[in-house]
Structure 1
Amino acid sequence: MAVVIETDPDLLGPLSAEYSARFAALVTGALTAAAPARRAAVAADMARTLLSTAVGIKQQADTREEFRTRLATAITLLPPALERGA
């Protein structure tokens, strides 16, 4: 899917935008479910930050393994912020 989105997004029509939106909703849902009730509103901001981080890593990583390793680091660093009060 990612290759088609990059090479010829018109081929997929609205599906490519829906794919990104669905993935963002899944990440937001997972973070919201993991957050204490008082911090649930932060989950959407955190999800957007994590998704932006993934896009940046994708542009920099030379291999799928490097991408996965670096994204795993980001995932480890961001969720503890759900526990802290702002």
Structure 2
Amino acid sequence: MSEHDDFEHEFDHRWASAAEHKEPSARARMLAARWKDNPPEPVPFRADPGSAGPRRSSWKSTALVLGCVLAVILLLGYASLRSP
């Protein structure tokens, strides 16, 4: 008998799918109980575009990254010259 047959024998998916009553998950039960007395506020599908904060332009970010890389290269070069 193959491993797949053992799994099918141990848990019959067709029998489980045909169940008349399906119990909700523990998280679904917890949220339903919590929201019964205190329902959540409606949330828009997309966030307000003004709430993200200021964005840097791509060239400034690129210059910042390249500057940091250059600084690390120079620091490592200086450290290798100083070591005997």
Give me the TM-score of the superposition, normalised by structure 1: 0.28
Specify which structure has the higher proportion of helix. Answer: 1
Higher RCO (Cα < 8 Å, 6 or more apart)? 1
Question: Which is higher, the Rg of structure 1 or of structure 2?
Answer: 2
TM-score (norm 2): 0.29
